[in-house]
Copies of this chain bind each other. A is one copy, B any other.
Amino acid sequence: MARAAAVSPTTVSHALNNRGYVDPRTREKVRRTAQELGYRPNVRAQRLRAGSAQTVGLVASMPTSIAAGPSKLGFFMEVAASAAETALMHGFAMILVPPLETQLELGQFDIDGAVVVEPEENDPATTRLRALGVPVVSLGRQPGAESEIPYIDLHSHETGELLLNHLHGQGSRKIALMIGSGLRHSYIDVAAAYSDFVSAHGLESIVIRLDEHEGEAGGYRAALALLESHPDVDGICALVDAFAVGVVRGLQEKGRKVPEDVRVVTRYNGLRAQTCKPALTAVNLNLGTAADLAVNLLLEHREGNTSRHVVSGPPQELVERASSVIP
What are the residues of chain B within 8 A of A132 when measuring CB–CB?
38, 40
A48 to B44, CA, bound (A): 6
Cross-chain contact A95 with B98 (CB below 8 angstroms): no
What are the residues of chain B within 8 A of A44 when measuring CB–CB?
44, 47-48, 53, 110
A325 at the interface (CB under 8 A from B): no
- Interface size class on chain A is 35 or more
What are the residues of chain B within 8 A of A200 when measuring CB–CB?
none
A55 to B133, CA, bound (A): 21
What are the residues of chain B within 8 A of A105 when measuring CB–CB?
18
Cross-chain contact B43 with A108 (CB below 8 angstroms): yes
Nearest residue in B to A95 (C-beta to C-beta)? B93
What are the residues of chain B within 8 A of A93 when measuring CB–CB?
57, 95, 97, 108-110
Stretch from A71-79, A207-215, A258-266 contacting the other chain = A71-79
A107 to B98, CA, bound (A): 25
A150 to B130, CA, bound (A): 40
What are the residues of chain B within 8 A of A85 when measuring CB–CB?
98, 100
Cross-chain contact B110 with A73 (CB below 8 angstroms): no
Question: Which of B54, B71, B84 is within 8 Å of A78, CB to CB?
Answer: B71
A13 at the interface (CB under 8 A from B): no
A41 at the interface (CB under 8 A from B): yes
Which among A81, A107, A271 has the highest number of chain B CB atoms within 10 Å?
A81
A4 at the interface (CB under 8 A from B): no
A171 to B12, CA, bound (A): 64
A190 to B15, CA, bound (A): 43
Cross-chain contact B43 with A110 (CB below 8 angstroms): yes
Question: Which of B73, B108, B287 is within 8 Å of A77, CB to CB?
Answer: B73
Within 8 A of B (CB), among A255-290: 269-271, 274-275, 287-288
A91 at the interface (CB under 8 A from B): yes
A66 to B186, CA, bound (A): 32
Cross-chain contact A55 with B274 (CB below 8 angstroms): no
A257 to B41, CA, bound (A): 59
What are the residues of chain B within 8 A of A275 when measuring CB–CB?
274-275
For residue A5, give the distance in angstroms from its CB to the closest CB of chain B: 15
A88 at the interface (CB under 8 A from B): yes
